[in-house]
Amino acid sequence: MLLVRSMKFRVSSLKPLCAGVLAAMALSAAHAGLFDDEEARKQILALRNQIAETQRTLDQRVGELEAQARNRSIIDLFNQVETLKAEFARLRGQIELLQNELETTQKRQRDLYVDLDGRMRKMEAQIAEQDRAAAAAKAQPPAVLPGTSVPPNTPPGTAPIVTQPSVDAARTAPPAPVVVVDPVAEQRAYDQGLDLFRGARYGDAVAAFQGFVRTYPRSTLVPSAQYWIGNSLYALKDHRGAISAQRQLLSQHPESAKAPDALLNIATAQSDLGELQAARASLQEVVAKYPSSEAAVKARQRLGIR
């Protein structure tokens, strides 16, 4: 652009000079009488044509320079657009990579949690079996043969007294109901629900765990099944249903190892619904009721406290 301005300045400054030359030539011709009027007009006309040709040449050159400047600006803009396109493509690739990493991380966390749930389930089953054995040992009466009795304060080694069982008592005493549960079938039903959840078939997982709860209402795995019902509903974006399922777990099994996580999941669902005050209250409840749990650590982090 500076070159264009310089050329324009030279053209504009050339015009007065030419006018001065013409005036001097005319004055010299008038005084000296060297040329007649016709010769002077021819020279003046030739000089004017030369000046006009020079002007056209300069105008053409200036036009070319301006066109080059415009083309250079367009090229610069084009280069900037191409640079922005390349940057956009790079950012899009990074976003896709982060999305893949997030999905992989979520799947890994889900698998780890399922594995942890299986270990805790085995421990709970062992503890429950030990409790049942201890309760049965305490409630077991002394071994007495049918039809015999041992009076109180009887010295050891005394033969029991043979008695005839009461006919009325035998008739009126209802038989104790015997519920036979196949532990293998119970475990298989629970694992089926977990496999469906692990495979992201959340609707089928909800149905499987609900069927498990109906079929085995006294199972030690019921709290875990109820917990996974809530998690499956949350994965289906049914936040209200997830909150209801987790609250059912808290009301029916408040001492379960799943209770802290269930309450934490309630806070997460409330936050997704935009119920921030309720979510904060749930997080505070996790810290207050289960201060030493892993869920309480996460709740403190969300609350911004230590």
Structure confidence by residue, pLDDT tens digits, 188-215: 999 999 999 999 999 999 999 999 999 9
Last-in-domain residue among 48, 68, 97:
97
Rounded to whole angstroms, the Cα distance separating 195 from 59 reads: 83
In this prediction, residue 3 carries a pLDDT of 45
Rounded to whole angstroms, the Cα distance separating 4 from 215 reads: 92
Q: Do the domain assignments include residue 151?
A: no
In this prediction, residue 84 carries a pLDDT of 83
Q: Do the domain assignments include residue 73?
A: yes
pLDDT at residue 240 above 80? yes
| C-alpha dihedral sign at 210, 216, 218, 221 | negative
Quote the domain boundaries for residue 82.
2-97
Cβ 294 vs Cβ 260: under 8 Å? yes
What are residue 58's phi and psi, to 5 degrees? -65, -40
In this prediction, residue 115 carries a pLDDT of 65
Q: Do the domain assignments include residue 178?
A: no
What's the structural domain count of the chain?
Answer: 2
Q: Do the domain assignments include residue 120?
A: no
Token pair 């015999």 in the structure block, residue: 148
195 and 296 together in one domain: yes
pLDDT band for 136, please (50, 70, 90 cuts): confident
Q: Do the domain assignments include residue 118?
A: no
In this prediction, residue 182 carries a pLDDT of 79
Cβ 227 vs Cβ 262: under 8 Å? yes
Higher pLDDT, 164 or 123: 123
Higher pLDDT, 276 or 97: 276
Which pTM value belongs to this model? 0.48
pLDDT at residue 16 above 70? no
Last-in-domain residue among 97, 130, 147:
97
pLDDT at residue 156 above 90? no
Q: Around 85, how many Cα atoms within 13 Å sit in the side-chain half-sphere?
A: 6
What average pLDDT does range 135-155 have in this prediction? 56
Q: CATH no. for residue 242?
A: 1.25.40.10
Q: Do the domain assignments include residue 168?
A: no
pLDDT at residue 141 above 70? no
In this prediction, residue 34 carries a pLDDT of 47
Instruction: List the one residue out of 72, 65, 70 whose CA is nearest residue 6.
Output: 65
Residue ranges of E strands in the chain: 148-149, 161-162
In this prediction, residue 50 carries a pLDDT of 86
What average pLDDT does range 287-293 have in this prediction? 92
Rounded to whole angstroms, the Cα distance separating 68 from 1 reads: 10
pLDDT tens string 30-83: 454 544 577 777 888 888 888 888 888 888 888 888 888 777 778 777 778 878
In this prediction, residue 162 carries a pLDDT of 47
189 and 303 together in one domain: yes
In this prediction, residue 107 carries a pLDDT of 60
37-41, 99-103, 273-277: segment of lowest average pLDDT: 99-103
For the chain, the helix, strand and coil percentages under 3-state DSSP, each to the nearest 5: 75, 0, 20
Q: Do the domain assignments include residue 302?
A: yes
